[in-house]
Amino acid sequence: MPPIIALDYPTLTDATALLARFASSTPLVVKIGMELYYGNGPAALARLQAVHPVQIFLDLKLHDIPHTVERAAFQLGRLGVQLTTAHAAGGLAMLQAANRGLAAGAAEAGLPAPKLLAITQLTSTSQSMLNTQLQIPGSVAASVQHLAAIAQAAGCAGVVASAREVPLIRAVTKPEFLIVTPGIRPTPVADDQVRVTTPAQAKALGANAIVVGRPITQAVDPVAAYDEICRAWLGEKEDS
């Protein structure tokens, strides 16, 4: 899969302007997050598709009681997106409810169900934050591994984690379990991401996909930045 571009923009004008820079033959996977979705609603999906034939990862990170999550997931299942997210910290029953809701919503709309990825520990979470602020004992890596096992038991297609944790997750999950990795920094930058890797490191560690936002969206030349990341991630520019 090509690098997933996180379209973390406030307006559809910003998001479509980025997509319009790419050749229409470039296969793109984009992530729509809370900012773009809350600001523009479900209509954003069709508007983006009209500019570029993108695959869509709708990342709304559901986290609530199982009943509420199931009903919200039902609505997401009707949207025709390929991937979506819920927090693994919501627990086994909540993730199962999310999967049920997605399947039911998609069935009603006559669409394939979106794949559910469980968020493990956010890539902005450090070891000291986990232990001191959140009062969760143990290592971040062990927590990620534990949450990945719960996600698999709940029937999720995969997880979101730092690429640093891929080997530990692989040790407890089936080979087809997806590991999608944000916190990608081609060059070191001081920002909110803590557990970062380069695209090449994510590839070497065996991630299935990388999610990249600011290194592309805030680049002077976003297409050149994307191409460079593709070369490191795929070994070559993805044209086909």
Per the annotation, binding residues for substrate are 8, 31, 59-68, 123, 185, 193, 213-214
Which of 67, 224 has the CB closer to ligand OMP? 224
174 is catalytic: no
**Active-site residue, from 14, 64, 221, 237:** 64
How far is residue 123's CA from residue 128's CA, in Å, rounded to a whole number? 13
How far is residue 125's CA from residue 107's CA, in Å, rounded to a whole number? 36
59 is catalytic: yes
Nearest to 227 by CA among 54, 5, 17: 5
- The whole-angstrom distance between residue 201's C-alpha and the CA centroid of its chain comes to 18
Closest residue to ligand OMP in the complex (CB): 213
191 is catalytic: no
Which of 107, 129 has the CB closer to ligand OMP? 129
Q: How far is the CB of 203 from ligand OMP (least distance, A)?
A: 16
In order of 29, 31, 159, 180, the CA distances from 85 in angstroms are: 15, 11, 8, 11
Phi, psi of 50 (to 5 degrees): -70, -25
Q: How far is the CB of 21 from ligand OMP (least distance, A)?
A: 17
Known binding-site positions: 8, 31, 59-68, 123, 185, 193, 213-214
How far is residue 61's CA from residue 33's CA, in Å, rounded to a whole number? 9
Which of 54, 160 has the CB closer to ligand OMP? 160
How far is residue 21's CA from residue 223's CA, in Å, rounded to a whole number? 7
Q: How far is the CB of 8 from ligand OMP (least distance, A)?
A: 5
Residues in the site for ligand OMP, rule: CB under 6 A?
Answer: 6, 8, 31, 33, 59, 85, 119, 122-123, 160, 182-184, 193, 211-215
How far is residue 171's CA from residue 74's CA, in Å, rounded to a whole number? 32
**Active-site residue, from 14, 59, 237, 239:** 59
Which of 33, 66 has the CB closer to ligand OMP? 33
| Residues with a known catalytic role | 59, 61, 64
